[in-house]
Chains A and B, each alone.
Chain A
Amino acid sequence: MSKGKHFVVPMVCVAAVHLVTFLSGFFAPYDYSEQDRHLPYAPPSTLHFRDAQGTWHWRPSVCALVERPEQFGVYEEDRTRCFPLAFFTRGYRYSAFWLIQSDRHLLAVTPPAKIFLLGSDGYGRDELSRLLYGGRLSLCAGLLAAASSVGLGLLLGTVAGYYGGWCDAIVMRCVELFLALPWLYLLFALRAFLPLHVSPSQAFLLLIAVLGIVGWARPARLIRGIVLSEKERTYVLAARMFGGSDFYLMHQHIAPRTYGLLLTQAALLVPQYILAEVTLSFLGLGVAEPVPSWGNMLAALQQYDVLVSYWWIWAPGFALFLVCINYWRLASAMQVAAEGTAHWQ
């Protein structure tokens, strides 16, 4: 029973984050590229439950912001122009991976008031909307890259472990090579060779491909170890004696023994790849403006003044922290579970 408990909290958190970012169009009040050039670095909006006369309202309202003359990024609320929040209204059209198309939004407010729950960035774009859209990109990149490198690792690790001999030698030398290469510098070099025209979706796919290819070596080595020991087990030998083909043995008997490890590996790799995407985008090797990712959003903090003056620009960093912590908790819960089952057998 206690095993289940370990799972529940991180599992729910991770699932919730993925769901919210998947439906970012619904939760985001604005499009990620919509600039309000009169409101750069606007602080998070204040929600007013009392109007100017002091009357209480259940529906909070937001007031228009006015920049102080000659003072960049210093705003005053115009209490004469306050507008109540509207829920489930129609706005710009969005889609979630071509699955859902809609124009319903959770929150909206009548212009000129703007609902910036997490403030705005240097171009006057809503930080919350960008956080959600950026999260969708960063988390998806992490998931897909982890899936591809675990998949590749499973394939090559199983083949190397099962067949042994020169096949094993080649794969394992490749593993060593991939573990030893200085990847960051290779990526810098690679970017210089790419054509200038890289659309955001191409850049995204490229990012996943690069991360997946870079990361297959470690899971492959772990899986090879398991396969090496599993292929000598008596039930595998029995199955082989009954005429099971190589593919049948790998698919039916050996590979399932690695799934526990694979899941743990995946849960460890996802946050690692999310961080890798953030690093690459931070350094300008990921998706380009105006498409947000947590990495290129955090890149704004490279400027000292932004770092010390506008705390809400840190939001992607906190989101990143929460996601990674929960993934790691999930991974350790899985490891405990995997060890438990191993003992039980």
Chain B
Amino acid sequence: MVARSPNLAIAVSICLCLLSQFAGQAQSVSEDVVANGTETGHQGGRLSVSLRSEPKTLNPVTSVDVSSREVIAQLTADLVHINRLTLQTEPALAKSWKVSPDGLRYTLRLRHGLRFSDGHPFDADDVVFSFRVYLDEDIHSPQRDLLVVGNKPIAVRKVDPYTVVFELSQPYAAADRLFDSVAILPRHLLEESYKSGKLARAWGLDTPPLQIAGLGPFRFKEYVAGQRITLERNPYYWKVDRDDHRLPYLDQINFFFVPNADAEVIRFKAGDSDVINRISAEDYSNLEKDQSAQTFRLWDLGPSLEFNFLFFNLNTALPAQSSTLARKQTAWFRKVKFRQAISLAIDREAITHIVYRGRGTPLWSPVTPANRLWMNTAIPHPERSLQGARSLLQSEGFSWKQDGTLLDPTGVPVEFTIITSASNAQRTKMATLIQADLKDLGIQAEVVPMEFHSVLDRIFQTHDYEAAILGLSGGDVDPNSDMNVWLSTGNDHVWDLGEPHPSTSWEAEIDQLMEKQLSTRRPEERKAQYDRVQAILAEQLPIICLASPNILVGVKSDLGNFKPAVLDPHTLWNSPELFFDGQEGGRHP
């Protein structure tokens, strides 16, 4: 019949074609529409953003530095994305996913008809290839650790061109969060260098733009050493707005390099950059003075996920040359009441006032108020009390000399040094305040600001220090991202590294709870387990939490849809939706 009337056949096929096109469009609108509540913008403009250091590479597999990651985030996309505002996962390259009842198998359905920024189509082979690369031990990708669950790497299998199955060796709570920021690589561009073992060195900054492609909203255009990196709009980007207009709105993003934070502020003030991330409280108050006269807006997003803390050297394996004094100090540090007394003596309100100029939050637990999903609100916030600290110390046999000096039970004056990074003025300030606080208790604390790498070296390698101030900032709100800090075998278990087995019963309990929550699938149960971990930490105080700085960002007033978020990156996470209001967009020469 078809052969007999070709016209009909053509008509039918056109019809089908139209139908499928229509269906495809309808589908793309329903699937790809950006989050509700965003304004519909218009095309054009160039966004200028400053970076505090030059990116080292554009290779998503090997990049570790902040600047590289910030640029790469604009060039690439992931399968499942954590929405920076809601903190929940949402579909990205995968339009949906299913979890098997035992929690071991994730089936991801990919979006149809997507193209890389060079026009090459995307399918399941790219996904399989990407995960093969990330999991390759010879490539040493920083993402690999995350993708190894229960000592076994995740297994990836292609079912059909648009279906991929991931298999875990043990149940893993919130496994969908693992996919966030694992950039999908173009197999057609990178397979060759992977096979010849050159992938780790591929996609350096000197790579011609045509050889770099991703699924992100922008693509690489130009790199001028020492000055800037320019990205241009990816015409094949897969997100559209409510009016079915293909995103992103911006034509270009221009990342330029500045030597330090001060230069960044000055350039922002001068109008050279449109967005400024991570402003310090000092610079914020400086910019605030000009806010009314200038054309920018400043945002104080409230507490961040960063927690700054004081901790004592509780390492069981101490350096061989440690003196008798050092051994005496370890005896003090190991007494939980000593740590509690120190915590009680610290004036956290003064830290937020003087160090963060009121733009910070005092902390009694490492989970900051920014993490509203997981914070244990039952943890007490005791006020500074020298009396309380004194009675705690007294009950452990400490006493005071005539002149107020604190003596330990054997009559040795209590003194120790606090090391901090000299380049971090805020932590040095905290140390100076704590020094004065502890002096009220009769403790002689010396502050030693030193180069950041020597601080890390002393804490992580030689264990040659007495007390230190550090800050940590989780990449995600989920407790899994902090496993390496709380597990006694973790690489960032700062106070006691390299324990073969937990040296105290409470550390053993934390280990147990953290392992248990990892495979618990019911969110309420996980929350209860993590609450208990926080309660143990607040009671035993292996780290004495001090304060969390607020997230402070600034933006040009005419940038639309700007929605800074708590999770990193705070500002450009919704770059496809950003647009310039009015005629001013792209006025930067």
Contact = CB atoms under 8 A, between A and B. Distances in A.
Interface of A: 33, 35, 37, 40, 70, 72-73, 122-124, 192, 196-199, 284, 288-290, 302-306, 308-309
Given A289-B432, A306-B282, A196 B425 contact: no
Contacts of B266: 304
Contacts of B350: 37
A306 B357 CA distance: 13
B436 A72 contact: no
Given A197-B446, A199-B446, A304-B266, A290 B432 contact: yes
Interface in B94-109: none
A345 B435 CA distance: 61
Given A288-B448, A289-B435, A305-B283, A37 B454 contact: no
Chain B at the A interface: mostly helix, strand, loop or mixed? helix
A302 B425 contact: yes
Interface centre among B435, B436, B449, B465 (most CB of A within 10 A): B436
B80 interface: no
Contacts of A70: 358
Contact of B417 (A37, A197, A303, A306): A197
18 contacts: A37-B353, A40-B353, A72-B357, A73-B357, A122-B429, A123-B429, A123-B436, A124-B354, A192-B451, A197-B417, A197-B446, A284-B422, A289-B432, A289-B447, A290-B436, A303-B425, A304-B265, A309-B286
Nearest to A70: B358
B329 to A, nearest CB: 11
Nearest to A302: B425
Nearest to A40: B354
Contacts of B433: 35, 37, 123
B285 interface: yes
Given A37-B354, A305-B286, 7 more contacts: A40-B353, A123-B433, A196-B446, A196-B448, A196-B466, A305-B282, A305-B285
B358 A72 contact: yes
Interface in B222-273: 261-262, 265-266
Contacts of A284: 422, 449
B357 A196 contact: no
B282 A196 contact: no
Contacts of B436: 33, 35, 123, 290
Of listed A37, A192, A308, residue having the most chain B CB within 10 A: A37
Interface in B340-374: 347, 350, 353-354, 357-358
A199 B448 CA distance: 11
Interface in B471-499: none
Contacts of B422: 284
A289 B448 CA distance: 9
A33 B444 CA distance: 13
Q: Which 8 A-B pairs have the closest CB atoms?
A: A72-B357, A305-B282, A304-B262, A305-B286, A37-B350, A196-B417, A289-B432, A284-B422
Interface string B521-554: 0000000000000000000000000000000000
B266 to A, nearest CB: 7
Contact of B419 (A123, A196, A304): A196
Contacts of A309: 285-286
A123 B435 CA distance: 12
A295 to B, nearest CB: 14
Contacts of B429: 122-123
A309 B283 CA distance: 11
Interface of B: 261-262, 265-266, 281-283, 285-286, 347, 350, 353-354, 357-358, 417, 419, 422, 425, 428-429, 432-433, 435-436, 439, 446-451, 454, 465-466
Contact of B354 (A122, A196, A199, A289): A122
Contacts of B283: 304-305
Contacts of B358: 70, 72
Which among B283, B354, B449 has the highest number of chain A CB atoms within 10 Å? B354
B428 to A, nearest CB: 8
Contacts of A40: 353-354
Contact of B347 (A37, A73, A199): A37
A308 B435 contact: no
Contacts of A199: 446
A30 to B, nearest CB: 13
Nearest to B282: A305
Nearest to B350: A37
Nearest to A197: B417
A37 B350 CA distance: 6
A124 B281 CA distance: 17
A192 B451 CA distance: 9
A197 B282 CA distance: 31
A72 B285 contact: yes
A315 to B, nearest CB: 19
A288 B444 CA distance: 13
B68 to A, nearest CB: 26
A303 B282 contact: yes
Nearest to A188: B451
A164 B136 CA distance: 71
A309 B261 CA distance: 17
A40 B282 CA distance: 12
Contacts of B435: 289-290
A294 B429 CA distance: 18
Nearest to A122: B354
Contact of A288 (B357, B447, B451): B447
B479 to A, nearest CB: 34
Contacts of A302: 425
Contacts of A289: 428, 432, 435, 447
A192 B439 CA distance: 27
Contacts of A308: 286
Contacts of A73: 285, 357
A288 B417 CA distance: 12
A33 B438 CA distance: 13
Contacts of B465: 196
Nearest to B466: A196
Nearest to B425: A303
A89 B560 CA distance: 63
Contacts of A35: 433, 436
Contacts of A72: 281, 285, 353, 357-358
Contacts of B450: 192
Contacts of B419: 196
Contact of B432 (A123, A196, A305): A123
Nearest to A191: B450
Contacts of B417: 196-197
Contacts of A192: 450-451, 454
A12 to B, nearest CB: 37
Contacts of A288: 446-449
B357 to A, nearest CB: 4
Contacts of B446: 196-199, 288
A279 to B, nearest CB: 15
A70 B357 CA distance: 9
Contacts of B281: 72
Nearest to B464: A196
A303 B358 CA distance: 18
B313 to A, nearest CB: 11
A306 B466 CA distance: 32
Nearest to B286: A305
Contacts of B451: 192
Nearest to B444: A199
Nearest to B359: A72
Nearest to B285: A72
Contacts of A123: 354, 429, 432-433, 436
B249 to A, nearest CB: 33
B66 to A, nearest CB: 21
A188 to B, nearest CB: 9
